[in-house]
Amino acid sequence: MRKPFVAGNWKMNMDGRSSVDLAKRLASESVGIADQKVTVAICPPFVYLQAVVKALDGSSIAVGAQDSYFEPNGAFTGEISIPMLKDIGCTYCLCGHSERRHVIGETDELINQKVTSAINGGLLPILCVGELLNEREASKTEEVVTRHVKEGLAGLSAEKVSAVTIAYEPVWAIGTGLTATPQQAQEVHDFIRKLLAQMYDEQLAQEIRIQYGGSVKPGNAAELMSQKDVDGLLVGGASLKADDFLAIIKAAV
Ligand code: PGA
């Protein structure tokens, strides 16, 4: 009943031409699958969003931004607002990706402002949560994930939270080639779903999609997706290669 959801996070990669070429290939080779069987989104860098939206015109692949700012407009040099993203045809927005938390230094409070403004502005946030290696080793995974989920969604009603996708991305698995085992992913996804049931209600918890992210590849996608509470995948490196990303989309059906 939860439609699988595969999203590609291009991070700070690609150029104008390769962005358009990749988007067009994904569009033509996912006909009949994207949207019908799997929700598919790609998140290019800001500067290529418009070109990618245009390249995907008529396809069922949605476009997301990798970040946003929570104010709608004003003197915020260098930032991009939700209304701007909406204006150019974005549907999704990543919020609180681990690189924004740990490289750029975003706090849970700022991430909450971004999630809130995305929902209020009509974009669908993908809230990324997950522990560092030392936190896992210190058995703090549940504590960290609880904080990310509770603080990321603070102040939002169940109705608003129904617009959110959660992406569980253990930081130690991102870009490292170290994937969480399907069992490790399932354990945390189950934990997040129970947490959502406590915070809101069982129905919402059953409806929300929880993606796994961290070194997802064509070779591990199907096994991760076979887990009961893994509803989709957030893919970094492998989303830059058409063949790999298409294979992952197909593995999620
Ligand atoms: P990766 O990145 O697939 O390259 O590990 C995942 C992510 O950061 O979303």
Which alpha helices (H) appear in the chain, and where do they start and end?
16-29, 49-55, 82-87, 98-99, 108-120, 133-137, 141-152, 158-161, 182-199, 202-207, 218-225, 242-251
pLDDT at 193: 98
pLDDT in tens, the chain (253 residues): 899 999 999 999 999 999 999 999 999 999 999 999 999 999 999 999 999 999 999 999 999 999 999 999 999 999 999 999 999 999 999 999 999 999 999 999 999 999 999 999 999 999 999 999 999 999 999 999 999 999 999 999 999 999 999 999 999 999 888 889 999 999 999 999 999 999 999 999 999 999 999 999 999 999 999 999 999 999 999 999 999 999 999 999 9
Q: How far does residue 102's CA lie from ligand 1's centre (Å)? A: 14
Q: Which of 79, 97, 106, 187 is catalytic?
A: 97
**CB of 214 closer than 6 angstroms to any ligand 1 atom:** yes
Give 165's Cβ-side CA count (13 Å radius): 31
pLDDT at 38: 98
pLDDT at 179: 86
Q: Please answer whether residues 83 and 152 qualify as being in contact, where contact means their C-beta atoms are separated by less than 8 angstroms.
A: no
- 189 counts as catalytic: no
**CB of 169 closer than 6 angstroms to any ligand 1 atom:** yes
pLDDT at 172: 94
